[in-house]
Chains A and B, each alone.
Chain A
Amino acid sequence: EAGVTQFPSHSVIEKGQTVTLRCDPISGHDNLYWYRRVMGKEIKFLLHFVKESKQDESGMPNNRFLAERTGGTYSTLKVQPAELEDSGVYFCASSRPGVGALYEQYFGPGTRLTVT
């Protein structure tokens, strides 16, 4: 089966611009997660979708970040306007429906975002 895919692999934007990251989960995976790693820090949870509903968005840093998952398939994460501290690697992960917290999550390769 195809894995989790993310687009773009790398994005370089200027401070104040908008960027939209996309994640395509594994087909049939109802759970979709966003994480990010900023420079020198640990991987941090951003939010969790179950199908099209936001189950947990406690990790979203501020209202400049907007995540959507229309139709319960792919998801987008928009950063508007981008700030320098948003630079990092953004990972998407998915897992099968009906499982709990630490069942296997499948990660994409990540999108490296650089804000200049």
Chain B
Amino acid sequence: LAKTTQPISMDSYEGQEVNITCSHNNIATNDYITWYQQFPSQGPRFIIQGYKTKVTNEVASLFIPADRKSSTLSLPRVSLSDTAVYYCLVGAYNQGGKLIFGQGTELSVKP
């Protein structure tokens, strides 16, 4: 499974756009990139998943360059409630179900 590297922490202010980049140099052809969000005292929550180029949903956008060795989670106009830990995970659909979590990025949104 591809190892991921992301910043340990980030600070932002309300209303700003936040971009969290994840490196995954050893990503395999079958691997997808998935991001989870975790609030304190809660379990992780799926945000978005992609394979290449750009994916957008009501919560975030995911940008994946052509070489797929990195990805960027973009949160538009963050609010205080976006303060959480964000995890980047990489793996393939056929690898048996388990998620491999890294340390995540602790995002702190200030007023």
Interface residues of B: mostly helix, strand, loop or mixed? loop
> Quick one: which of B43, B46, B97 contacts A110, CB cutoff 8 A?
B43
Selecting from B63-71, B76-84, B86-94, the interface stretch reads B86-94
Residues in chain A within 8 A of chain B (CB atoms): 4, 31, 33, 35, 42-45, 48, 50, 55-56, 58-59, 91-93, 95, 99-110
Chain A residues with Cβ under 8 A from B44's Cβ? 43, 91, 107
Residues in chain B within 8 A of chain A (CB atoms): 32, 34, 41-46, 49, 87, 89, 91-104
Tell me how many residue pairs across A and B have CB atoms closer than 8 Å: 78
Cβ A33 vs Cβ B103 within 8 A:
no
Could you give 25 example pairs across A and B, Cβ below 8 Å? Answer: A33-B98, A33-B99, A35-B101, A42-B101, A42-B103, A44-B101, A48-B96, A48-B97, A50-B97, A56-B98, A59-B98, A91-B44, A92-B43, A93-B43, A95-B97, A100-B93, A101-B94, A101-B95, A101-B96, A101-B98, A101-B99, A102-B91, A103-B93, A106-B46, A110-B41
